[in-house]
């Protein structure tokens, strides 16, 4: 999964974290960062553990 995220990030010329945030916002239909921070923290923690 990480490779697909990296590949798409290069394609869109954005960072991995920006791409993850964009995907989460699209999925949830939420644009407010305050509501996303706890979810993003968990996602980043999982990415670090997988690496």
Domain borders along the chain are 2-50
pLDDT digits (tens, 9 = 90+) for 28-48: 776 666 777 788 888 888 888
Q: List CB contacts of 8: < 8 A, sequence separation 6 or more.
A: 19
What tokens were used for 22? 């964009």
pTM value > 0.95:
no
pLDDT digits (tens, 9 = 90+) for 10-28: 887 888 888 888 888 777 7
Instruction: Work out the mean pLDDT of the chain and round it to a whole number.
Output: 78
Ramachandran category for residue 13: left, alpha or beta (phi over 0 → left; psi -120 to 50 → alpha): left
- Rounded to 5 degrees, φ, ψ at 29 are 70, 30
């Amino acid at each position: 999964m990480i490779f697909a995220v990296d590949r798409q990030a290069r394609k869109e010329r954005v960072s991995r974290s920006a791409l993850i945030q964009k995907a989460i916002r699209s999925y949830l239909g939420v644009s407010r960062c305050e509501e996303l921070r706890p979810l993003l923290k968990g996602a980043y923690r999982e990415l670090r553990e997988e690496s």
